[in-house]
C-alpha cells in the first residue's frame, strides 16, 4: 500500500492538466496529419488522453471518448470530404467505436481497482485495531490509521516517518521481531508494550506480516483494560473464594463440567471431607459425603424437572432460578446425621452464560426439633381448646359429657369411651354416656360394672390408671379391646366421676399424653361441677319463685281483706277512729305497692325483652285516667313504640311521684316527640323539684327523696330498669332550667315501632 492511496488537491489537478495537454497535442497532430493527407498514424495519439481520462474518472470516460471520436470524425470529414472518397470517413467511424470500447474497458478495470483501493483504505481507516505500515529497511512508520494514532495520542501526520523504536518499550527484542518479519514469517497475538505521547504504557496484542519487499503491516489491539479486568477478576475470585471459605453455612461450587471448584471449611466439618480430597473431581463426587453414592442432588436439579430425585426431599420449592429443599441426611457429622436446609442457585458470567452453580447447606436440626415441639404443644393446645369449647358451651350436662367424650376419642385416636358420674345421694358411680361400643352393649346401663375394682380405685383415690390389663376386663373378647385407661373427673379437690377410654390397638401412654389426659379430666370435671351447680341454682331459683308466688298470693289476699275492713271502718268511724282507719288503709296500700314492685322487678330480670308495637297514646290516656284529681296537660300523640304490658308502670311511677310530692294543686305536663328511630317522652311537674345533689343517683335502688312522703326507693329504680329494658335511656332535670325549686322534668327515650 503506497502513499498515493491518499490523493490531495494537487494530484487531481495534475491528472486534469495531463489529460488536457495530451488531448490538445492529439488534436494538433491529427489536424496536421490530415492536412498532409496522412490518415493512419496520428489518430492513435487519441488513445493517450482516453486512457488517462478512463483511469482518472471512470464514470465519464465513455462520454469523453465519444466526444473525441465525434471530433475526430468531424476533422476527417472536413479534410477528406469530396477528395479521397468515403473510405477515410468509414475508418474514422470504426476508430471512434474503438475509442469508446477502449474507454469502457479501461474505465471498468479502473473502477475495479479504485473499489479495491477504497475498500482496503476503508478497512485500514475504520479498523477498531490500530494498524500501521512500517518500512523494514529503516524501521520507520510510513502510515498509521486513526485508531493507531488515537491509541498513542499522536496525529497521523506526527507518526508518519517516526522510528518505531520511539514508541516501543521492548528494546532489543525489536531486532528479533523485525528479523522474523523480514524473513517472511508472520507474528500473531504477541504481547508488546507501547508508550503513548503522554508517557502512558499500553499493553497490546500484536500481529504483523510482510506486505511487499520492504513494507510490513503492523496490527495492535489494546488489551490494557483486558489485562486490568483479568487482574481485577483474579482479585475478585480470590476475595470470593475467601468469602465462600468463611461462610457460616456449608457451601460448595461446581463449574459447567460439574467439577468441584470450591469446598469451604463449614462443609469440611459437616462431611469430614477436606477440600484437597475433592477439588477438581466431577461425576457427582460431591454427593458421596452426603449420601454415600454418586448420584444427582439438588444442585443438579437446577432448571430441570426430575420427579424421582425430587421425591427424595421432604420439601422442595423453586423461586425463580433458585431451588430450596429440606432433607434428612444420616451420614453427615460422622454418622450422627442432621436435618438440612439446602439452597442451590446457578452462576453466570458477565455475558449471561451459565458457568456453574453453588449450593449451600444449613443444619436446621435444632430448629426442626423446636418446630416439632411447637407443633406438639399447638396440638395439645388445640385439643384443650376443643375440649374446653365443648365443655363451656351452653349445653345440658348430658350434652357436655357426650361432646367431651367424643372429642377426646377423635383427638387421641381411641376406639371407645364411657363416662360415669358419682351419684350425689348414694355416692355410687352412675353411667351417663358411652360411644364406640357395639349396639348390643350400647344400652343405657353401661358396660362397666359400678363395682369394678379399677373404677372404684380411681373414684376413691382420684388418680388415673394407664395401661389397664384388658384381658381381665368385663368386656366380651370379641370387641378386641387391647389398651385402656381410666381418668378421674375432678373439680375443687373432689372426684365427680371418671371417663374410660379404650383402644383396639396396642398403644403406650407417654408422659406428655398422660398429662394431657389428666388435664382433660380436670376440664371435664370443672364443666360437670358447673353444670351441677347450675342445676342446684335453677332448683333454688324455682323454689324461691315458688315461695315468692305463694307469699305474694297469700299477702295480697290478706291485704285485700284488710283494705276492705279499713275502708268500712273509715266510713263508719268518727274522730280518731276514722283517722286510724285511714292510716291503716294507707299502710295496706303501701304493702300492695311493695308486692307489685317486687313482682315487676322479678319479671324484668327473668329474661331479655320480648317487645311488640304498643300504642303510646292509649297507654298515656289510661294512666291519666287513674289520677282524676290531678291537673295533667297532654296534647296527644300518634306514635307507637316497642314495649310490652309493663310500659304503663313507667307513667304510673312518674305521674304518681308528681302527684305525691306536688300536692293537690300540682300540674303535670306530658309531651312526646319523635327523633328518627327514637321517641323522646318528657314528664314534668310544678312540684318542689329535685335537688342537684340527688339527681345523679335518684334512680338507684332504695334511694329516697328528702321529703317525708318518700317511699321505699323502688319506683324510680323500676322505671329506669323498664326504660333500659326497652333499649332506651332516662335522665332527670329541672322543668325551668337552673331552677330546681320550680319542678322536676323526667325525660326518657323509647324505640320507635317500625
Cα dist from 727 to 193, 409, 563, 741, whole Å: 101, 46, 37, 31
Contacts 24+ apart (CB under 8 A), 648-654: 648/619, 648/622, 648/623, 649/600, 649/718, 649/719, 649/722, 650/719, 650/722, 650/723, 650/748, 651/619, 651/620, 651/623, 651/683, 652/623, 652/626, 653/715, 653/716, 653/718, 653/719, 654/683, 654/719, 654/746
Pairing of the two strands 354-363 and 250-255: antiparallel
The three-state DSSP-derived secondary structure of 629-671 is CCEEECCCCCCEEEECCCHHHHHHHHHHHHHHHHCCCCEEEEE
Q: Is 413 left (phi over 0), alpha (psi -120 to 50) or beta?
A: left
Cβ of 682: how many Cβ atoms within 10 Å?
A: 16
Amino acid 635: pLDDT:
94
SS3 267: helix
Amino acid 7: pLDDT:
43
Amino acid 426: pLDDT:
79
Give the HSE-up count for residue 203: Cα atoms under 13 Å, Cβ half-sphere: 9
- 53: nearest Cα among 17, 97, 29, 11: 17
User: For the segment 504-554, what is each residue's pLDDT rounded down to a tens digit?
Assistant: 888 888 888 888 888 888 888 888 888 888 877 777 766 666 666 666 555
Amino acid 227: pLDDT:
75
How many whole angstroms separate alpha carbon 324 and alpha carbon 632?
87
- 744: nearest Cα among 687, 706, 704, 692: 687
How many whole angstroms separate alpha carbon 687 and alpha carbon 606?
35
Contact 191, 177 (CB under 8 A): no
User: Pseudo-torsion of CA 225, 226, 229, 231, nearest 10°?
Assistant: -110
Amino acid 446: pLDDT:
59
DSSP E strand boundaries for 26-145: 130-135, 140-144
Which phi and psi (to 5°) does residue 312 adopt?
-75, -15
Pairing of the two strands 429-435 and 730-736: unpaired
Helices 61-80, 87-126: axis angle to 10 degrees equals 160
Walking along the chain (754 residues) 10 residues at a time, the average pLDDT comes out as: 44 74 81 73 75 79 81 78 66 78 80 74 78 90 89 89 83 76 84 86 87 86 77 75 86 92 92 92 92 90 76 84 91 91 91 91 90 78 74 77 85 86 83 76 59 84 82 59 87 88 85 87 86 78 64 62 69 70 63 62 61 92 87 93 89 89 89 93 93 84 50 74 90 91 93 92
User: For the segment 398-434, what is each residue's pLDDT rounded down to a tens digit?
Assistant: 888 888 888 888 878 888 888 989 887 777 888 888 8
Q: Give me the residues paired with residue 614 across strands.
A: 641
- How does DSSP classify residue 700? S
Cβ of 210: how many Cβ atoms within 10 Å?
A: 18
How many whole angstroms separate alpha carbon 259 and alpha carbon 276?
13
Pairing of the two strands 315-319 and 140-144: unpaired
- Residues in the chain, how many? 754
How many whole angstroms separate alpha carbon 61 and alpha carbon 124?
29
Give the CA radius of gyration of the chain. Answer: 61
Q: Give me the residues paired with residue 222 across strands.
A: 204
Amino acid 3: pLDDT:
43
Please, what's the largest Cα pairwise distance for the chain?
196
Q: Give me the residues paired with residue 158 across strands.
A: none
Dihedral sign computed on CA atoms, order 267, 271, 277, 281: negative
What percent helix, strand, coil does the chain show, rounded to 5? 50, 25, 30
How many whole angstroms separate alpha carbon 594 and alpha carbon 703?
15
**pTM of the complete model:** 0.41
Contact 398, 428 (CB under 8 A): no
How many whole angstroms separate alpha carbon 381 and alpha carbon 383?
5
Pairing of the two strands 322-329 and 465-466: unpaired
Amino acid 370: pLDDT:
86
Q: Which helix (H) or strand (E) holds 47?
A: helix 47-56
How many whole angstroms separate alpha carbon 446 and alpha carbon 489?
17
DSSP-H helix ranges across 435-494: 453-461
Helices 47-56, 61-80: axis angle to 10 degrees equals 160
CB contact burial 466-496 (16+ within 10 A = b; e otherwise): bebebeebebeeebebebbbbbbbbbeeebb
How many whole angstroms separate alpha carbon 611 and alpha carbon 114?
114
Contact 703, 711 (CB under 8 A): no
DSSP-H helix ranges across 360-448: 365-392, 397-412
The distance of Cα 543 from the centroid of its chain, to the nearest Å, equals 62
Walk me through the domains of the chain, giving residue ranges and CATH numbers.
Answer: 3-123 (no CATH), 127-222 (3.30.450.20), 228-363 (3.30.450.20), 377-607 (3.30.450.40), 608-751 (3.30.565.10)
Q: Give me the residues paired with residue 483 across strands.
A: 503
Contacts of 349 (CB under 8 A, 6+ apart): 355
How many whole angstroms separate alpha carbon 193 and alpha carbon 204?
6
Contact 253, 262 (CB under 8 A): yes
Which phi and psi (to 5°) does residue 607 adopt?
180, -175
How many whole angstroms separate alpha carbon 68 and alpha carbon 644?
135
Q: Give me the residues paired with residue 498 across strands.
A: 420, 488
Amino acid at each position: 500500500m503506497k502513499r498515493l492511496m491518499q490523493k490531495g488537491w494537487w494530484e487531481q489537478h495534475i491528472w486534469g492538466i495531463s489529460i488536457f495537454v495530451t488531448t490538445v497535442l492529439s488534436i494538433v497532430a491529427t489536424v496536421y496529419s490530415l492536412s498532409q493527407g496522412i490518415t493512419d498514424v496520428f489518430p492513435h495519439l487519441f488513445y493517450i488522453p482516453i486512457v488517462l481520462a478512463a483511469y482518472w474518472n471512470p464514470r465519464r470516460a465513455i462520454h469523453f471518448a465519444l466526444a473525441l471520436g465525434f471530433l475526430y470524425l468531424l476533422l476527417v470529414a472536413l479534410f477528406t470530404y469530396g477528395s479521397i472518397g468515403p473510405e477515410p470517413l468509414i475508418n474514422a467511424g470504426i476508430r471512434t467505436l474503438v475509442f469508446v470500447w477502449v474507454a469502457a474497458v479501461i474505465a471498468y478495470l479502473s473502477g475495479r481497482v479504485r473499489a479495491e483501493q477504497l475498500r482496503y483504505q476503508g478497512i485500514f481507516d475504520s479498523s477498531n485495531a490500530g494498524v500501521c505500515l512500517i518500512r523494514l529497511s529503516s524501521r520507520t512508520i510510513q502510515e498509521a490509521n486513526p485508531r493507531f494514532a488515537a491509541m498513542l495520542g499522536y496525529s497521523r501526520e506526527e507518526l508518519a516517518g517516526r522510528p518505531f523504536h520511539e514508541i516501543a518499550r521492548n528494546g532489543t527484542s525489536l531486532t528479533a521481531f523485525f528479523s522474523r518479519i523480514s524473513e517472511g514469517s508472520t507474528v500473531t497475538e504477541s504481547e508488546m508494550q507501547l508508550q503513548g505521547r503522554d508517557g502512558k504504557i499500553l499493553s497490546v496484542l500484536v500481529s504483523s506480516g510482510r506486505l511487499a519487499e520492504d513494507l510490513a503491516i503492523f496490527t495492535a489491539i489494546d488489551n490494557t483494560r483486558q489485562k486490568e479486568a483479568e487482574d481485577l477478576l483474579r482479585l475478585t475470585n480470590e476475595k470470593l473464594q475467601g468469602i465462600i471459605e468463611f461462610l457460616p453455612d456449608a457451601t460448595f461450587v461446581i463449574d459447567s463440567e460439574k467439577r468441584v471448584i470450591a469446598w469451604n471449611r463449614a462443609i469440611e466439618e459437616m462431611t469430614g471431607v477436606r477440600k484437597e480430597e475433592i477439588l477438581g473431581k466431577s461425576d457427582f463426587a460431591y454427593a458421596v459425603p452426603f449420601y454415600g453414592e454418586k448420584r444427582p442432588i439438588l444442585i443438579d436439579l437446577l432448571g430441570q424437572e426430575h420427579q424421582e430425585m425430587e421425591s427424595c426431599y421432604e420439601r422442595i420449592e423453586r423461586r425463580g432460578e433458585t431451588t430450596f429443599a429440606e432433607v434428612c441426611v444420616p451420614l453427615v457429622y460422622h454418622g450422627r446425621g442432621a436435618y438440612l436446609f439446602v439452597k442451590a442457585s446457578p452462576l453466570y458470567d458477565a455475558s449471561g452464560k451459565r458457568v456453574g452453580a453453588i449450593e449451600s447447606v444449613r443444619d436446621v436440626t435444632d430448629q426442626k426439633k423446636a418446630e416439632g415441639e411447637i407443633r406438639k404443644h399447638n396440638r395439645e393446645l388445640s385439643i384443650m381448646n376443643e375440649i374446653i369449647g365443648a365443655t363451656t358451651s351452653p349445653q345440658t350436662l348430658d350434652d357436655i359429657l357426650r361432646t367431651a367424650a367424643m372429642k377426646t376419642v377423635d383427638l387421641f385416636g381411641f376406639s371407645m369411651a364411657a363416662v360415669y358420674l358419682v351419684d350425689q345421694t348414694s355416692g355410687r358411680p352412675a353411667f351417663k354416656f358411652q360411644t364406640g361400643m357395639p349396639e348390643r352393649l350400647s344400652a343405657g346401663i353401661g358396660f362397666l360394672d359400678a363395682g369394678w375394682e379399677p373404677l372404684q380405685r380411681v373414684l376413691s383415690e382420684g388418680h388415673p390408671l394407664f395401661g389397664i390389663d384388658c384381658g381381665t376386663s368385663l368386656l366380651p373378647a370379641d370387641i378386641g379391646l387391647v389398651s385402656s385407661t381410666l381418668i378421674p373427673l375432678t373439680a375443687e379437690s373432689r372426684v365427680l366421676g371418671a371417663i374410660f377410654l379404650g383402644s383396639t390397638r396396642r398403644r403406650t401412654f407417654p408422659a406428655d399424653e398422660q398429662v394431657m389426659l389428666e388435664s382433660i379430666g380436670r376440664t371435664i370435671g370443672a364443666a360437670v361441677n358447673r353444670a351441677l351447680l347450675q342445676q342446684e341454682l335453677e332448683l333454688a331459683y324455682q323454689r324461691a319463685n315458688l315461695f315468692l308466688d305463694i307469699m305474694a298470693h297469700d299477702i295480697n289476699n290478706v291485704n285485700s281483706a284488710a283494705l276492705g275492713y279499713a275502708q268500712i271502718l273509715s266510713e263508719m268511724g268518727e274522730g280518731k277512729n276514722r283517722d286510724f282507719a285511714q292510716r291503716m288503709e294507707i299502710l295496706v296500700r303501701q304493702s300492695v305497692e311493695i308486692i307489685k314492685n317486687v313482682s315487676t322487678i322479678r319479671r324484668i330480670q327473668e329474661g331479655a325483652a320480648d317487645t311488640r308495637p304498643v300504642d303510646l297514646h292509649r297507654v298515656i290516656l289510661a294512666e291519666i285516667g287513674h289520677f282524676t284529681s290531678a291537673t295533667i296537660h297532654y296534647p296527644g300523640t300518634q306514635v307507637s313504640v316497642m314495649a310490652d304490658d309493663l310500659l304503663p308502670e313507667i307513667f304510673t311511677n312518674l305521674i304518681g311521684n308528681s302527684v305525691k310530692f306536688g300536692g293537690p294543686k300540682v300540674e303535670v305536663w306530658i309531651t312526646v316527640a319523635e327523633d328518627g328511630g327514637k321517641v323522646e317522652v318528657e314528664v314534668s311537674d310544678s312540684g318542689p323539684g329535685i335537688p342537684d345533689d340527688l339527681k345523679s343517683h335518684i334512680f338507684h335502688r332504695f334511694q329516697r327523696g328528702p321529703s317525708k312522703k318518700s317511699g321505699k326507693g323502688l319506683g324510680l329504680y323500676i322505671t329506669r330498669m323498664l326504660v333500659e329494658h326497652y333499649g332506651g335511656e332516662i335522665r332527670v332535670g329541672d322543668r325551668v332550667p337552673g331552677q330546681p325549686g320550680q319542678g322536676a322534668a323526667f325525660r326518657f327515650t323509647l324505640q320507635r315501632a317500625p
